[in-house]
Chains A and B, each alone.
Chain A
């Protein structure tokens, strides 16, 4: 209770402005319709770019996350390595994706490469933790059995850990891919490519009807990918 009231006072909510806000929201939404379908082709191209960014960003992030997660896992790494690897994870996780976008736009210029790299780094903060949790939840006895039979650290990782974590690793990675499509849309705001760039430009230019088209296309694709990937994940869980 104390925490909730503390959080509430921090919000400094002004009820009078809340009463008026309903009208503004209604007005804003009414200006979004009808969607201007003439820009569907632009939307489609930008959307593909967003998906491509997410695919590569997730892949880069996943490849870097795997060793980091192994070094952070309590059942595989000594405490000092774990401390260091967890610290790296925390540092990455505490940087907002927008800031990463700005950093890489400064480094590689406006466009999709900056967004892809930003997503790659951003992904580490989450997949590193997810992978680590998966590794740590592996059955302890199964690893001890391999230890007693004389298997090396590498063999325990290969035969003991990998088969047990692969299904959830794929599941988490798919989820991250899905999430990164939305994150990529946000990155466009700082000029790091993808559909967000166009979206923000239309809104800034008061071309709300075009912005609506962009959002609708995004909605369709996010929904479609959500359906596909949740089916894939269910199949993985059954394995």
Chain B
């Protein structure tokens, strides 16, 4: 088997016995997470508030200090020493976009390319070739006319599309999205989810935290349900409703017991 073939069979992201340093009500936020995300998969991570779904996503990007266990991205371990290499195939979307509100849409997009330049180079701004690529990306997402507007003047959905352009400019293989549609209106939710679906179709691995079971089963192939820092379900996204009912029943019982 040659290098490329082996590569295409190896998993995109592996979490093995991941325990976070941070705690919530006396247990680690992530309390022994095991999961494997294949390349080219569209995965939705679901769970109740405080279950640890955003933390799980953040651990994949190396944004969450771990107490034990390890995360592999494309076979590279995510540790403080290997962050640069491990993050190389990754891009991430945040709830609300995580843009710099005072910078223009184009400058925000170009921020996704900062790693390709030294601090001294970026002090003098980005080269025209990069600006052209940034503009093309904004155009692909229907945002070309807003390229020079500060992003704080844009709507939530428009901001998320700029954030997607910023993520895409580094040509990632894996896109992590932390509640990318929370707070958006119905039209914007559809637009953003459709973009994610298109990216998935073009071969990108998508891992997204969602709140909406309907969206998860419509767009994702696989669902991961997290409860109290552990994976309680990992399988097809079509059964998510039943699995969630079971989870909610359990929580209800506990509430009654108290």
Residues of A at the B interface (CB closer than 8 Å) are 139, 141-142, 144-152, 154-155, 158-160, 163-164, 166-167, 239
Contacts and interface: CB of A to CB of B under 8 A. Distances in A.
Given A144-B63, A148-B61, A150-B170, A163 B102 contact: yes
Nearest to B60: A148
B103 A163 contact: yes
B138 interface: no
Contacts of A167: 102
Given A142-B100, A145-B94, A152-B115, 12 more contacts: A144-B92, A144-B94, A145-B166, A148-B87, A148-B92, A150-B84, A152-B114, A152-B118, A152-B119, A154-B119, A159-B114, A164-B101
B98 A149 contact: no
B98 A144 contact: yes
B114 A148 contact: no
Given A144-B98, A159-B103, A160-B100, A149 B91 contact: yes
Most buried by B among A149, A160, A167, A239: A149
26 contacts: A139-B101, A141-B97, A141-B98, A142-B101, A144-B92, A145-B163, A145-B166, A148-B87, A149-B87, A149-B113, A149-B115, A150-B114, A151-B115, A152-B114, A152-B115, A152-B119, A155-B114, A158-B123, A159-B107, A159-B122, A160-B100, A160-B111, A163-B100, A163-B102, A164-B100, A164-B101
Interface residues of B, number: 34
B90 interface: yes
A149 B170 contact: yes
A145 B98 contact: yes
A155 B122 CA distance: 8
Contacts of A146: 111, 114
B156 interface: no
Nearest to B167: A149
Contacts of A163: 100, 102-103
Contacts of B62: 148
